[in-house]
Amino acid sequence: MKISILYGTETGNAEMLAEDIQAELDAAHDVTCDNLADTDPTALDPTRFYLLVCSTYGDGELPASAQPFAEAIDKAGPDLSNVHFAIFGLGDSEYHETFNGGPKRLAELMIARGARQIGDRIAHDASGPDLAEDIAFPWAEQVLAEAEERLGAPA
């Protein structure tokens, strides 16, 4: 399958995880990995499956590198109805009221433009005992299996 991993980050944790996921999937799939800051939401490709990896800042807001992407969705209002994505969050349960709020907002923005979310929005907790990749790899495997069914023929 053709997969695009897109990350939104401030201190780089989401970027590191995105690269880890890319390395994990590289052998079996065609995988690219880019910063959301360098991604144009009007140019998303319906033949690819998008894996978003995004942290949360401020008070449940998007990290700096995801903000231009969100603003561009708001402004351009692209039709994303053939775009499939799954989203993984990096957060910190110390911020319990707004835990994983950034990815929630990002998913809502995409869905409002018609994009189809695959799988649950799950998150790594920086205050928890697990390593991000230990949660993200099984998540990626599962959403990929679902996506292969929905997007049809594996590449």
Task: Single out the segment in contact with ligand FMN by CB under 6 A; choices: 20-28, 35-43, 57-65, 68-76.
Answer: 57-65
Do 52 and 139 touch, CB atoms closer than 8 A? no
Distance CA 88, CA 77 (A): 23
Q: Site map for ligand FMN, 109-138, x if CB under 6 A?
A: -----------------x------------
* Residue 44 Cβ vs other proteins, minimum distance, rounded to whole Å: 26
What burial letters (b/e) apply to 20-35, b meaning 16+ CB within 10 Å?
Answer: bbbebbeeeeebebeb
For residue 152, the tally of other CB atoms under 10 A from its CB is 9
Site string for other proteins, 89-128 (x = CB under 8 A): ---x-xx-----------------------------xxx-
With CB under 6 A as the contact rule, the residue among 19, 67, 99, 146 that binds ligand FMN is: 99
Q: Which is nearer to ligand FMN, 38 or 79 (CB)?
A: 38
Find out whether 44 and 89 touch, Cβ atoms under 8 Å.
Answer: no
